[in-house]
């Protein structure tokens, strides 16, 4: 039936290899043609169209007299002290047991809720 008993394994494997090679050739050719036809100008820096080059850049002069004197302190008369907060080691935080949250009338719950921001 269908000549399967007349085909050898060598012919079958050659058929598979040729079919796979043709398939990969077709897929890679199609991908190459799509890549070739795609527009490559994705970034503004790479877009050298005429509308970007029509307006040349002109230098702008800026001096300190253009701004109010309050914005430009020339020299501070005194040093500014920056506040420093020191890290204090508080030890290992073991957290709370699960019973604190599973029981609504647990005695530690008001103490916990004072430290946590929550919305009712």
**26 belongs to a structural domain:** yes
User: In this model, does residue 64 exceed pLDDT 70?
Assistant: yes
User: In this model, does residue 119 exceed pLDDT 70?
Assistant: no
Q: Pick the more confident residue, 34 or 4.
A: 34
Q: Residue 25: give the domain boundaries.
A: 9-40
Cβ–Cβ < 8 Å for 53, 47: no
Mean local confidence (pLDDT), 82-99:
76
**72 belongs to a structural domain:** no
CA atoms of 21 and 38, how far apart (whole Å): 26
* Per-residue model confidence (pLDDT) at position 66: 75
Cβ neighbours around 108 below 10 Å, total? 13
How many structural domains compose the chain?
Answer: 1
CA atoms of 108 and 104, how far apart (whole Å): 10
* Per-residue model confidence (pLDDT) at position 40: 65
Cβ–Cβ < 8 Å for 96, 108: yes
Average of per-residue pLDDT values in the chain: 77
**89 belongs to a structural domain:** no
The alpha carbon dihedral of 35, 41, 42, 43 has a sign of positive
Question: pLDDT > 70: what percent of the chain?
Answer: 72
Return the structure tokens found at 28: 């890679």
* Per-residue model confidence (pLDDT) at position 28: 96
Does the pTM exceed 0.85? no
Give the tens place of pLDDT for each residue, 8-51. 888 889 999 999 999 999 999 999 998 887 766 666 666 665 55
At 32, phi and psi to the nearest 5?
A: -65, -40
**45 belongs to a structural domain:** no
**29 belongs to a structural domain:** yes
**96 belongs to a structural domain:** no
Range in 14-23, 57-66, 111-120 with the lowest mean pLDDT? 111-120
Buried b (16+ CB within 10 A) or exposed e, 34-50: eeeeeeeeeeeeeeeee
**105 belongs to a structural domain:** no
Q: Pick the more confident residue, 64 or 18.
A: 18
* Cα angle 30, 31, 33; round to 5: 65
Cβ neighbours around 96 below 10 Å, total? 13
């Amino acid at each position: 039936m269908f000549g399967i008993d007349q085909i050898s394994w060598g012919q079958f494997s050659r058929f598979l290899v040729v079919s796979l090679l043709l398939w990969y050739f077709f897929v890679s050719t199609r991908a190459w043609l799509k890549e070739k036809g795609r527009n490559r100008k994705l970034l503004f820096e790479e877009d050298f169209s005429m509308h970007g080059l029509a307006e040349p850049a002109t230098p702008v002069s800026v001096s300190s007299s253009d701004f109010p004197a309050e914005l430009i302190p020339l020299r501070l008369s005194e040093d500014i002290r920056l506040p420093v907060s020191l890290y204090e080691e508080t030890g290992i935080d073991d957290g709370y047991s699960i019973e604190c949250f599973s029981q609504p009338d647990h005695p530690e719950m008001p103490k916990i809720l004072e430290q946590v921001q929550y919305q009712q």
